[in-house]
Amino acid sequence: MRILVAYGSKMGGTEGLAEMLGADLSDLGHVVEVKSGSDVSSVSDFDAVVVGGALYYFISWHKDAKTLIKRHLEELRTKPVWVFSSGPLDDSALEKDIPPIKSVQRLIERVGARGHVTFGGRLEDESGGLPVGDWRNAEHVRRWAEEIDRNLTSVGS
């Protein structure tokens, strides 16, 4: 299937997760395009869409992800959609299922998304006093790609 993986990323960490997911979905036999939500003018060419956004300040999901869903809401409601968030600067996303923040939950409901996952994040900038490191996990991304693939290729999806 043709799958769009669109992201909202400020410092590149979420973009990297989108690339990892795109590569996994390609390995699973899909034709994948990975782009910033701000570069997506149409979702018409795709059979399924994944939208990922970076989390900031507990209440904020990157605007390029948010705007993409809002702008194409009616069309996206007719397609299989998945959503991901990133990401905690510790191992918590691997240890438990972290639910979406409220605003993302609302978007998930409006668009009728089939699933959501929170992946670990990455921070390279030491100036903010937050933990610096990379908690993105290739195995975690791979498992979610397989879940999407299973859902898309099951009869009647």
Q: Are 111 and 69 in contact (CB under 8 A)?
A: yes
Tell me the closest approach of the beta carbon of residue 10 to ligand FMN, in angstroms: 3
**DSSP-assigned letter for residue 129:** S
Closest to 64 in 3D by CA, of 143, 1, 4, 8: 8
Judged by CB under 6 A, which of 12, 99, 112, 133 binds ligand FMN? Answer: 12
3-state SS, residue 103: helix
Tell me the closest approach of the beta carbon of residue 68 to ligand FMN, in angstroms: 15
Judged by CB under 6 A, which of 31, 39, 56, 138 binds ligand FMN? Answer: 56
Q: Does residue 102 belong to the site contacting ligand FMN (CB under 6 A)?
A: no
Q: Does residue 87 belong to the site contacting ligand FMN (CB under 6 A)?
A: yes
Q: Does residue 150 belong to the site contacting ligand FMN (CB under 6 A)?
A: no
Angle between helices 102-111 and 63-71 (to 10 degrees): 30
**Quick one: CA torsion of 25, 83, 72, 108, rounded to 10 degrees?**
150
Judged by CB under 6 A, which of 1, 23, 89, 94 binds ligand FMN? Answer: 89
Count of CB atoms situated within 10 Å of the CB of 80: 20
Q: Which is nearer to ligand FMN, 10 or 70 (CB)?
A: 10
Q: Which is nearer to ligand FMN, 104 or 152 (CB)?
A: 104
Beta strands in 2-114 (DSSP E): 2-8, 31-36, 48-56, 60-61, 81-86
Judged by CB under 6 A, which of 54, 111, 117, 148 binds ligand FMN? Answer: 54
Q: Which region, judged by CB under 6 A, interacts with ligand FMN, from 11-19, 39-47, 105-113, 138-146?
A: 11-19
Binding positions for ligand FMN, rule: CB under 6 A:
9-15, 54-58, 86-89, 121-123, 128, 130
